[in-house]
Structure 1
Amino acid sequence: MNQPQSVDSLDAAMRLAIEHSYQVKGTTYPNPPVGAVIVDPQGRVVGVGATEPAGGEHAEVLALRRAGGLAAGGIAFVTLEPCNHYGKTPPCVNALIEARVSMVVYAVDDPNAIAGGGAGRLQAAGVQVRTGVLADQVAAGPLREWLHKVRTGLPHVTWKYASSVDGRSAAADGSSRWISSEASRLDLHRRRAIADAIVVGTGTVLADDPALTARRGDGSLADRQPLRVVVGMREIPPEAKVLNDDSRTMVIRTHDPMEVIKALTDRTDVLLEGGPTLAGAFLRAGAVDRILAYVAPMLLGGPVTAVDDVGVPTIARALRWQFDGIDRAGPDLVLSLVPYGG
């Protein structure tokens, strides 16, 4: 029998919960992708869990079930404040209290007015509560899009693009396959597989005929496919790949980004993958919550930039963003940015 894993700090246990949260991201809507870890009084991990698809068990309940009686006197680590309401399942705080854990440690407060209040309920039952452990990592990681949706009522929009190091999205003759590396493209397909929708303009469909699917490394379709959304007034030919049976497709006849956002209010995680015109329109409208840039170590020059006019007449009016992550994908840099001060 394998020896139970041990953790030597609150941070280490929460990092394990975060790992499990990431594993179910994109599969739990409308619930958040939560991870939970139960540690016994000796510091051994005796139960782990992550949110099941809607209607299934929550992370804490799964972790407690796997821990069994070993949870008594132990500590529960959860990426989100345990819920305190009856939905399709009973409140998670009930299970934690009944399991007789001595403490609950969670990263992020639940902003949902209906489900929140779990911390107070636990404390009233004599359970110690500690909050804020690795909160920034959780809020900017597995719960980023869900927290945005709860707080604003709108889907979280990530503008994704690939460019050369000098900001070009294609060569002077229009060729662009491939600017980004194979590693970057695999990373994008992984992100597509957990997104709720991909948005492009009719210009991209007519020029590139993209399938807008999420695929595995061997080219096969991923189990989960995002909704494909095409924006614009031009007609799409019936043979376009975006209209095939690989996933559902929504066509929105508008040039207004906010109309697109309103049409997708039942979604949480939206990828904007359109060309420079659509990207510029969304940026001018303030409808982008995150930028994800795949930057390749090549120079192209020429007129084809990653984004068109964003409504900036002078440097003093520049749209200010700040980096919140820099990673590598093969030879490329993957830059994550959020609005400055956001």
Structure 2
Amino acid sequence: MALALSLGRRGLGQTWPNPAVGCVLVRDGRLLARGWTQPGGRPHAEAMAIAAAEDCTGATAYVSLEPCAHTGQTPPCAQALIEAGVSRVVVALGDPDPRVAGKGLAMLREAGIEVTTRVLEADARDDQQGFLSRVTQGRPMVTLKLASSFDGRIATASGESQWITGPAARQAVQALRASHDAVMVGGNTAREDLPALTLRTMSERRPPVRIVVSRELQLPRMGPLAEDDSGAPVWLLHGLDVADDARAFWNARGSELIEVPKDDTGLDMASALQALGARGITRLLCEGGGLLAASLLRAGLVDRVVGFTAGVMLGGDGLPSLAPLGITALSDAPRFALKEVTRVGPDIAHVWTRT
């Protein structure tokens, strides 16, 4: 199952709106075949493994998520396992999708196949957090990335920010982007940094959707988001009051415009995430800036925080990584639990999950 889980992780950021699943086929203590969900969400992991094995009679299938039980663009994976002649199926995690939700396991048992569940379930739940969030809450899992100085600053008082962290940390951010369906920034970041939000070093992977949150679509009409031909989609979250010429400009460039209602501080990010979930996004990486990050934190929408911290001090006159949160009591502050810490070149990478 550990191997099946590791195979499934290869698909993170590649398979949306489907989950990234791994499958391993074993018989008589020997590995027959392995498979994982392919880019775009199909073929599914079970189908890949069955095709690679050729003869699965009497085999045990280890699958990181319950095999599907419904017919979509492909037949049900539970039926495929039955027809392949496997004698046992071991599953890490049940699928809450109403089209599955125990039906896949029931199909297998009704066919006389031995079924074992909840093997390495906690690891599978962690891997599938984005898919689970979309199915059960209607929104993607949100990872907030913060790259800052030791004292929590993202730029000097003059606005200089390149580069606070080193090359190894920037490469790690590329890997982080590649494991998410979409990467999102705020309008200020889009205007000031002219980011490309693309994968610079892993061009063979499905590029993440590039999302900008801009209430009035006041965005640069030059630079990577407007002019590049990388093939990475551009989605723009905006409010109701948008000038006709702005709509026309971005529509002409193939961007998807998504209208979002306002709240007291700007766009209603809860509604924005629901709109992204409805379009299939399961894993969303927020790369700033401070206003957008603060709005997500205030709304309780951040599931993970990934920090890259450099051993440099910029002082109180530097630009903080977060805009004001309006917190007057420590008990009201968003809290996260430390999951892991690693050294990345001269910097530290630390991952936190919401408590």
TM-score by structure 2 length? Answer: 0.84
8 A contact 1:184–1:294 mirrored in 2: yes
1:18 aligns with 2:5: yes
Partner of 1:172, secondary structure, is coil
Q: Which residue of 2 aligns with 1:11?
A: none
Superimposed CA distance per residue, residues 284-333 of structure 1 (whole angstroms, 9 cap, x where no aligned partner): 11222221111223322223221122231121222221123333322322
How has the CA–CA distance of structure 1 residues 120 and 15 changed in structure 2, closer, same or farther, with 3 Å as cutoff?
same
Q: Which residue of 2 aligns with 1:136?
A: 122
Superimposed CA distance per residue, residues 103-132 of structure 1 (whole angstroms, 9 cap, x where no aligned partner): 111111111110232122212222111111
CA RMSD of aligned residues (A): 2.0
Give, in whole Å, the separation in 1 of the partners of 2:16 and 2:33: 23
Question: Gaps (5+ residues) in structure 1?
Answer: 1-13
Indicate which of 2, 13, 17 corresponds to 1:30. Answer: 17
Partner of 2:153, secondary structure, is coil
Partner of 1:261, secondary structure, is helix
Partner of 2:155, secondary structure, is coil
Give, in whole Å, the separation in 2 of the partners of 1:30 and 1:167: 35
1:285 aligns with 2:299: yes
Q: Which residue of 2 aligns with 1:105?
A: 90
Question: Gaps (5+ residues) in structure 2?
Answer: 240-265
Indicate which of 48, 64, 67 corresponds to 2:34. Answer: 48
Q: Which residue of 2 aligns with 1:338?
A: 353
Q: Which residue of 1 aligns with 2:253?
A: none
Structure 1 residue 34 displacement after superposition: 0.6
Q: Which residue of 2 aligns with 1:321?
A: 336
Residue correspondences, number: 321
Give, in whole Å, the separation in 1 of the partners of 2:43 and 2:331: 51
Equivalent AA in structure 2 for residue 243 of structure 1? A
Q: Which residue of 2 aligns with 1:236?
A: 219
Q: Which residue of 1 aligns with 2:270?
A: 258
Range with bigger deviation, 57-66 or 240-249: 240-249
Q: Which residue of 1 aligns with 2:258?
A: none
Q: Which has the higher contact order (CA 8 A, sep 6+)?
A: 2
Q: Which residue of 1 aligns with 2:206?
A: 224
Range with bigger deviation, 43-52 or 328-337: 328-337
Post-superposition, which runs of at least 4 consecutive aligned residues in structure 1 deviate over 4 A?
none
Give, in whole Å, the separation in 2 of the partners of 1:330 and 1:272: 23
Superimposed CA distance per residue, residues 247-290 of structure 1 (whole angstroms, 9 cap, x where no aligned partner): 33233334222343243231222111121111111111122222
How has the CA–CA distance of structure 1 residues 53 and 212 changed in structure 2, closer, same or farther, with 3 Å as cutoff?
closer
Structure 1 residue 45 displacement after superposition: 0.5
Q: Which residue of 1 aligns with 2:315?
A: 301
Q: Which residue of 2 aligns with 1:6?
A: none
1:208 aligns with 2:176: no
Superimposed CA distance per residue, residues 175-220 of structure 1 (whole angstroms, 9 cap, x where no aligned partner): 2111222111112112223422222122112222212211107xxx
Give, in whole Å, the separation in 2 of the partners of 1:157 and 1:231: 15
Equivalences for 1:154-193 in 2 at 5 Å? 154-193=139-178
8 A contact 2:15–2:41 mirrored in 1: no
Give, in whole Å, the separation in 2 of the partners of 1:250 and 1:144: 23
Equivalent AA in structure 2 for residue 242 of structure 1? L
Indicate which of 146, 171, 175 corresponds to 2:131. Answer: 146
Structure 1 residue 83 displacement after superposition: 1.2
Equivalent AA in structure 2 for residue 66 of structure 1? A
Give, in whole Å, the separation in 2 of the partners of 1:223 and 1:189: 11
8 A contact 1:22–1:33 mirrored in 2: yes
Percent of residue pairs bearing the same amino acid type: 39
Range with bigger deviation, 32-41 or 162-171: 162-171
Structure 1 residue 223 displacement after superposition: 4.4
